[in-house]
Structure 1
Amino acid sequence: MASETFEQRIERACRDKEIPGVLMVADDREGNFRYEKVFGSRSLKDPSKSDPMTKDATMWMASCSKFPTCVAVMQCVERGQLNLDDNVTGLLPELKGLPILAKFDTGDTQPTMAENTKPITLKHLLTHSSGLTYDVFSPTMMRYRIVVDKFTPTLNIKKPLTEALKFPLVFEPGASWEYSVGIDWAGFMVERVSGMDLETYMKKNIWDPLGASSITFHPKKNPSTFANLTDMSVRSGGITPFGTAVDPEAPVEYTADRVFGLNMPDCSGGAGLYGNILDYQNLLHSICADDGKILKKETVDYMFQDHLTAASKAVFNKRLEDPALRETLGGGMMTGMEITYGLGGMIFLKDVEGGRRAGTMAWGGYPNLLWFCDRKAGLSGIAGAQVVPAGDPKFNRLFALWEQELYKKAGKGKL
């Protein structure tokens, strides 16, 4: 019997409800190779009728928002409007004097706070080494938010983001690593130096120059984007305290819970973009090809360097030993791999056999989207599903298989 092709494998995955549906796009720097395919369903809401995934599907991109926000920041750096090593509190007075939450154990009624004496720099914000965190990823901060702030942590935020994302640090800036809201704050800096909200800024300086019309922070204000919105699915069987699926083998099913509000007035540079991933690939291609449309080559070179201190990098790699976190950040090719963080995503420091080269940048988004940009091989791509929770092992394994297929088909698999 002939072995199963990648396309047959992913069609089977969709048919068996391992994943609901997926849109995949990749291309090479030279314009000789393009992969653009859809599989499975746009929605599992009504099992009695077919609702296939389409190439114009709109998805919540979640943390895929971080890379274009970093690109916007670096455009402002190129213009001299921002400096990566400056103390950010000149533009972000909200972060001035934030204490460090040293301890808040279950039995405590009062947190233990320490004074922070180190400045938070823009580079710290971009590399998740500022001391800020996501409350949902930090049990200590989660407890602080509920007990002290009387705030229920949720992505469906009902207050201004500058209030909702302001809370103590969890370490001294530059001393460690913690996935954080730092890039949201960096987005506010772009707004303050440009005089535009991030929606307007990105449209003018990133999406319009690349011919990417679907991507927006406000899908309800963009009729064509909203009309193509993909439904969400959830891995049945419940969610662990860390936020991953209890049973990764359980089938997926429709959920009406959108996780992230469609009506947020602010622009969340860390998680707020919606759009079509074919448009997002236009950005990855531009960066991979060094075509100069968005950023100078030397700026992109700098973004793809190692920007963590030794202390921060050691913590980051230690954290990646946790299978749950490793799956959340992309699974597949990460076991035993030394990784650092650039300005926009994590950087792989070793070649992957038959695949991405050392220096490749990669990241993803909460409802299981993953992207990579391999400037050395000249190949980039993004795959998007709309299934929660994050870090789905089924999706991660399929993405890894797809990436192997891409390098083979593009003739770039040989190291």
Structure 2
Amino acid sequence: MQSRETQGMSRERLARVERFIDESYIATGKLPGALIQVWRRGELALNSVLGLADRERQVPLAQDSIFRIYSMTKPVTSVAVMMLVEECKIALDDPVSKYIAAWENLGVHAGGFMESFQTRPAARPMLVVDLLRHTSGLTYGFQQNTNVDAAYRKLKLGELATEGTLDEMIDKLATLPLEFSPGEAWNYSVSTDALGYLVGKVSGMPFETFLKQRIFDPLGMVDTGFHVPEDKASRFCACYAVGALGSKVVSTKGPMLQDDPQASAYLKPPAFISGGGGLVSTAADYMRFARMLLQGGELDGVRLLGPKTLKLMTANHLPGGVDLPRLSRSMFSEATYDGVGFGLGFATTVTPESTLIPGSAGDFFWGGAASTFFWVDPQEELIGLFLTQLLPSSAYPVRRQLRTLVYSAITEPGPAAR
């Protein structure tokens, strides 16, 4: 007789996770497909593959399907930076202008439009730590909140829109004012793209080469990179959007095709290497990255970071120790919950009770624009991974629903939670 539990989780309640996503999202056509994995106590407790990778061609989603992970690239880039911090090649309190001289005198927006910006001096220099925690004063054009955001859109700077190369983006940013003085607020931004530039500058090798040689190859992340090679193209998912161009106006025909996997720009190496949102990956690969994080920076004998460094990364680094809603000026981010702070590359739960959803103090997470999501809970020895392809990630509350369903399946708390 099969045990009713696995890794301290109810099999019946884990089955409820799959059933809910299937009935509420796949069968209704809200999502084309979804891959759900739950890792607990050293094993996969749930591994579910639902729906389609390509609705137009009726291609089923598969275990090895390749997804655009967009902003789930950010934790990878942040790990790369912290590897260099551990080697004393860069420091968190270094001024960014030490590496990008043209940014030394960036002013703060005080009025005007792109052709006639008025600025005031920043209260202090932008530091490397500001880039990691999004307190740099940079922004994203898709925030659509200020005249600076509008300038980003006009210059086509941002996670999904950037044209040109990474070096060209850095040069263009030198011509624009900051939204606020570094450290004064939190704003989701191109900060992590700037970190990718710093990794290349400090390591002496192209950013994408550093990721491959120092992170992907050592961890065995064989399908992760900035484009989909020809021999893997058949595994690449289609990407969809809620309404035209990802608007929240829902089409009566369901999600609309946003990026055809057989005609996608991802099929060729990009000119712009985005540390903020450029990677594609698989469930197997990203789970290996997440397991490395859960285990304090090491996996299968390969150590990328020391446990003390990872503890530093997952602490709340928002000035004053406040949570995101108290400091955020973002119209959009991948996390907006009360009780959630931000560390060096991840959001982190500070007061679980304030979020009004299950979790643990110190769990950390992030998501991507196409509704992908992951979280790591060291107290519960738990990882949750959700991969799909639907823009925008704010279309449905699937992330909080997933967390609720997964935590409700736990029957035995992990050692750190007892």
Is 1:26 the counterpart of 2:67? The answer is no
Q: Which residue in 2 is equivalent to 1:227?
A: 234
Percentage of identical aligned residues: 24
2:373 counterpart of 1:370? yes
SS for the counterpart of 2:274 is coil
TM-score, normalised by the number of residues in structure 2: 0.83
Which residue is 2:407 aligned to?
A: 404
Q: 1:54 Cα deviation (Å)?
A: 0.7
Work out whether 1:127 is the aligned partner of 2:127.
Answer: no
CA distance in 2, matches of 1:135, 1:112: 19
Quote how far apart the aligned CAs of 1:372 are. 0.5
Matches within 5 A, 1:201-240: 201-219=210-228, 222-236=229-243, 238=244
| Residue 86 (structure 2) pairs with residue 93 (structure 1) | no
Where does residue 5 of structure 1 map in the other structure?
A: 16
What residue number does 1:264 align with? 270
Report what 2:6 is aligned to: none
What amino acid is the match of 1:181? V
Q: Secondary structure at the match of 1:391?
A: coil
Shift of 1:114: 1.6
Check if 1:143 corresponds to 2:150.
yes
Kept in 1, the 8 Å contact 2:37–2:44? The answer is no
What is the CA deviation profile of residues 291-335 of structure 1, one whole-angstrom value per residue up to 9, with x for unaligned ones?
63221111111111121112x846x3147799x74xx5257xx3x
Which residue in the other structure is 1:274 paired with? 280
Query: One-letter code of the match for 1:26?
Result: V
Q: Is the 8 A contact 1:18 1:249 kept in 2?
A: no
| DSSP 3-state at the match of 2:71 | helix
Residue 308 of structure 1, aligned match among 298, 318, 338: 318
Q: Deviations over 1:137-188 (max 9, x none)?
A: 1432233346xxx535562433122333513210001111111111111111
Query: Does structure 1 retain, via aligned residues, the 8 Å contact 2:242–2:392?
Result: yes
The root-mean-square deviation of aligned C-alpha atoms, in Å, is 3.1
In the alignment, structure 1 residue 157 sits paired with structure 2 residue 169:
no
- Partner Cα separation in structure 2 for residue 375 and residue 143 of structure 1: 40
The separation in 2 between residues aligned to 1:120 and 1:269, in whole angstroms, is 19
Q: 1:381 Cα deviation (Å)? A: 2.2
DSSP 3-state at the match of 1:298? helix
Give me the whole-angstrom Cα distance separating, in 1, the residues matched to 2:329 and 2:125.
29
Q: Answer yes or no: is the 8 Å Cα contact 2:185–2:327 preserved in 1.
A: no
Residue in 1 that maps onto 2:76: 68
**2:138–2:191 contact (8 Å) kept in structure 1:** yes
Secondary structure in structure 2 of the residue aligned to 1:189: helix
User: Which runs of no fewer than 5 residues in structure 2 stay unpaired?
Assistant: 1-11
The letter for the 2-side match of 1:162 is D
Helix, strand or coil at the partner of 2:352: coil
Per-residue Cα deviation, 1:34-88 (whole angstroms, up to 9, x for no partner):
3222111111114xxx421111111111100000111011100111111000111
Relative to structure 1, is the Cα distance of residues 143 and 351 closer, same or farther in structure 2, using a 3 angstrom cutoff? closer
Structure 2 CA distance for aligned equivalents of residues 162 and 382 of structure 1: 33
8 Å CA contact retained: 2:379, 2:414: no
Tell me which moved more, 275-284 or 395-404. Answer: 395-404
Aligned residues of 1:104 and 1:112 also touching (Cα < 8 A): yes
Q: State the alpha-carbon separation in 1 of the partners of residues 214 and 365 from structure 2.
A: 22
Matched, 1:42 2:53: yes
Would the aligned equivalents of 2:290 and 2:376 in 1 still touch at CA under 8 Å?
A: yes
* C-alpha displacement of 1:113: 1.8
Gaps of 5+ in 1: none
Distance in 2 separating the partners of 1:63 and 1:387:
13
